[in-house]
């Protein structure tokens, strides 16, 4: 490593280059740092005057879990709240005031989704896409907006996809019960991804594939999945992995509720396995990406290398940054996670520096 990047890679690990400083990882494995493209955490609850501090706590906590970069993910907020969320994320990205996992940008999960497939999303903010009002949001977001979850059947979404594709932003299907013609039309316009496969979407039947069945069968799109064994049964995780192969990503959809607070759809709580509304409906996970990687292996869905790639290289490819992150290739950032034989995080490295250690 040199100047925060990978300078050289050697086949012979017994010979250190002249002038280098060897680092003994005590028999642990080295992997690219994990990238979470769907993380809510405490950010969806944070007051405007506490948002910067919440970002700091988030980045430090993720770092200890082996996640070196992430997208701050909204729920279906009102336009003013989206404006505030995006603006404060932009400030963090510009100033880099906090140590820890790097905020890569914003993922808007809604508000342009199907209210019948809202799940735990705040229904009062869900709405059609309108050029004038919503283009202003996209203008404000500028380069900080990386991914948008939307429903193809929502009014105005085809125009939204055109706008996103032009700006190089990932358009992802989610919270949807779209029919095949609507989906195909949006894929042709540039929609390339599916958000939390199986959750909050039309379910699969052997005579009616629904959104989930289409996503499994269509090689034009990648998918992400919440691998906690609660949102998706382990047997179905295995099915998804076999169908999507290197186009399946792991996410957390993590929610960290405060003692008092709610994102707009009702009070949420952690039942020990997932985050739920008072009526028991799922409202997010309590996962770390490291735990998701271990689960994917324990469920028999992926090999160790596949599981690590699904939380590092594959998310990087989705965002178009695979030359910079999620890889060991020369020139990439030296963001690493050190894992023991059980898959537990022992160290996290950021830009060539040991930032967190339990060895």
| Distance, CA of 170 to CA of 191 (rounded, Å) | 7
Neighbours of 49 (CB within 10 A): 7
Known catalytic membership, residue 228: no
Q: Note whether 285 and 274 are within 8 A (CB).
A: yes
> How far apart, in whole angstroms, are the C-alpha atoms of residue 288 and residue 285?
9
In sequence order, the 6+-apart residues with CB closer than 8 A to the CB of 132 are none
Strand partners, 108: 148
Candidates 113, 132, 103, 129; CA nearest to 265 is 113
Say which of 224, 253, 256, 335 is annotated catalytic.
Answer: 253
- From CA 284, how far away is CA 269, in angstroms rounded? 10
Residues near 225 by beta carbon (within 8 Å), at least 6 away in sequence? 196, 197, 198, 232, 237, 240, 248, 249, 250, 251
End-to-end CA gap in the chain: 20
DSSP conformation letters of 233-248:
-HHHHHHHHHHHGGGE
Phi, psi (degrees; rounded to nearest 5) at 64: -65, -20
Query: Which amino acids are annotated catalytic?
Result: 253
């Amino acid at each position: 490593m040199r100047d925060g990047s990978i300078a050289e890679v050697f086949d012979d690990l017994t010979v250190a280059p002249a002038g280098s400083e060897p680092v003994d990882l005590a028999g642990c494995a080295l992997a690219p740092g994990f990238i979470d493209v769907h993380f809510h955490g405490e950010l969806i609850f944070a007051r405007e005057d506490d948002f910067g501090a919440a970002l700091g706590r988030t980045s430090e906590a993720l770092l200890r879990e082996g996640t070196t970069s992430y997208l701050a993910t909204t729920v279906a907020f009102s336009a003013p709240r989206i404006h505030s969320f995006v603006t404060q994320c932009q400030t963090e990205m510009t100033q880099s005031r906090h140590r820890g996992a790097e905020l890569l940008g914003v993922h808007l999960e809604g508000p342009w989704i199907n209210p019948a497939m809202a799940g735990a999303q705040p229904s009062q903010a869900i709405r059609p896409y309108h050029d004038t009002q919503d283009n202003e949001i996209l203008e404000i977001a500028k380069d900080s907006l990386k991914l948008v979850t939307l429903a193809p059947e929502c009014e105005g979404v085809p125009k939204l996809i055109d706008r996103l594709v032009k700006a190089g932003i990932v358009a992802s299907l989610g919270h949807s019960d779209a029919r095949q013609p609507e989906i195909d039309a949006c894929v042709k316009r540039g929609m390339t991804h599916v958000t939390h496969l199986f959750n909050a979407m039309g379910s699969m039947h052997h005579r009616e594939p629904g959104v989930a069945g289409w996503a499994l069968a269509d090689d034009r799109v990648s998918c992400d999945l919440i691998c906690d064994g609660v949102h998706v049964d382990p047997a179905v995780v295995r099915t998804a992995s076999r169908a999507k192969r290197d186009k399946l990503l792991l996410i957390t959809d993590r929610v960290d509720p405060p003692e008092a607070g709610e994102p707009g759809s009702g009070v949420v709580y952690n039942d020990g396995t997932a985050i739920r509304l008072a009526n028991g409906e799922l409202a997010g996970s309590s996962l770390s990406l490291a735990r998701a990687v271990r689960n994917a292996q324990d469920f028999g869905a992926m090999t160790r290398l596949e599981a690590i790639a699904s939380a590092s290289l594959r998310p990087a490819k989705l965002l178009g940054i695979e030359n910079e992150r999620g890889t060991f290739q020369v020139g990439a950032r030296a963001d690493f996670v050190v894992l023991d034989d059980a898959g537990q995080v022992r160290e996290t490295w950021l830009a060539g520096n040991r930032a967190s250690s339990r060895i």
